[in-house]
């Protein structure tokens, strides 16, 4: 089980903790990577909090692709269906330098290939690409060989890799097997949090258009990651831009590194 209970479910929370009943309404999914507990408890928590979907953590025990046979994967899909939750995708947060480190590269590449296949299969079991399940969120290194591998593996199974590296790789093209992933906390870390940079994230991503295949809800202040809406991010502008550019996925709430992950997840579930 997850400590902390469900706090503030059913309320749309924006800057400074102010609830707003209007504005863009992207469905929200909860990234399980930042939560304590095991999968069943996490999924139950997401349902109770009011989320529309979940994002699986491919590095969590019992969810690693190499540990799951066909039956285990069907069991996870059945668990989500029982809780009436969609699958927004799969997270694989391997440090990008691991892909090019001689002692870690084989394991990292194997995990990437396995997770791509896992995401594609789970997308089918949970309702196909329309549910967003066939998306792997990760940070790819600036390495042609790794990127070519990811593109080949994803194209072979009909999956999409959402690359959350910032700045965005300018070789990414809309409609390809590798797309852009947006993590506002990473963008803010790269661009700085002062001078209205949080309000400018919308402008930064507006030109990316349909190349955006994964979008997180995260935030940053001078001390590090914080609950979305309590740092520099202008949530209204960010979500409105995603709607405007035609982003078709869910907004994935990411509570990695925040002080109260369960409480934040509850407050950010949306209505």
Q: What is the mean pLDDT of residues 223-233?
A: 95
Lowest mean pLDDT among 21-30, 46-55, 109-118: 21-30
Q: What is residue 185's three-state secondary structure?
A: helix
What pLDDT is stored for residue 207 in this prediction? 87
Query: What are the counts of helices (DSSP H) followed by strands (DSSP E) for the chain?
Result: 8, 10
Classify residue 222 as exposed, middle or buried by CB count within 10 Å of its CB (0-12, 13-18, 19+). exposed
Host H or E run for residue 86: strand 86-91
Q: Choose between 266 and 7: higher pLDDT.
A: 266
What pLDDT is stored for residue 202 in this prediction? 85
How many CB atoms sit inside 10 A of residue 21's CB? 8
pTM over 0.85: yes
Q: What is the mean pLDDT of residues 191-201?
A: 65
What pLDDT is stored for residue 57 in this prediction? 98
Domains and CATH numbers, the chain: 15-267 (3.20.20.150)
Cα–Cα distances (Å) from 20 to 25, 43, 91, 200, 240, in that order, read 11, 26, 29, 21, 14
- The yes-or-no verdict on residue 5 having pLDDT over 50 is no
d(CA 63, CA 244): 34
């Amino acid at each position: 089980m997850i400590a902390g209970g469900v706090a503030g479910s059913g309320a749309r929370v924006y800057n400074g903790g102010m609830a707003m009943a209007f504005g863009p309404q992207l469905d929200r999914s909860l990234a399980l990577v930042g939560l304590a507990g095991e999968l069943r408890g996490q999924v139950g928590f997401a349902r109770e909090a009011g989320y529309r979907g979940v994002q699986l953590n491919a590095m969590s025990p019992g969810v690693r692709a190499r540990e799951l046979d066909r039956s285990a994967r069907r069991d996870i899909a059945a668990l989500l269906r029982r809780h009436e939750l969609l699958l927004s995708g799969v997270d694989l947060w391997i440090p990008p330098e691991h892909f090019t480190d001689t002692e870690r590269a084989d394991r990292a590449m194997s995990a990437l290939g396995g997770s791509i296949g896992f995401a594609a299969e789970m997308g089918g079991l949970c309702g196909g690409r329309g549910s967003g399940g066939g998306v792997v969120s990760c940070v790819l290194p600036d390495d042609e060989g790794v990127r070519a591998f990811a593109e080949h593996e994803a194209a072979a199974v009909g999956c999409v890799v959402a690359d959350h590296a910032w700045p965005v790789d300018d070789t990414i093209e809309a409609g390809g097997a590798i797309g852009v992933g947006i993590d506002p906390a990473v963008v803010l870390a790269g661009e700085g949090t002062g001078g209205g940079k949080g309000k400018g994230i919308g402008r930064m991503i507006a030109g990316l258009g349909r190349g955006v295949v994964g979008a997180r809800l995260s935030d940053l202040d001078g001390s590090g990651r914080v609950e979305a809406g309590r740092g520099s991010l202008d949530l209204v502008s960010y979500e409105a831009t995603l709607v405007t550019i035609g982003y078709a996925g869910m907004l994935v709430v990411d509570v990695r590194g925040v002080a109260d992950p369960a409480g934040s997840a509850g407050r950010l579930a949306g209505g």
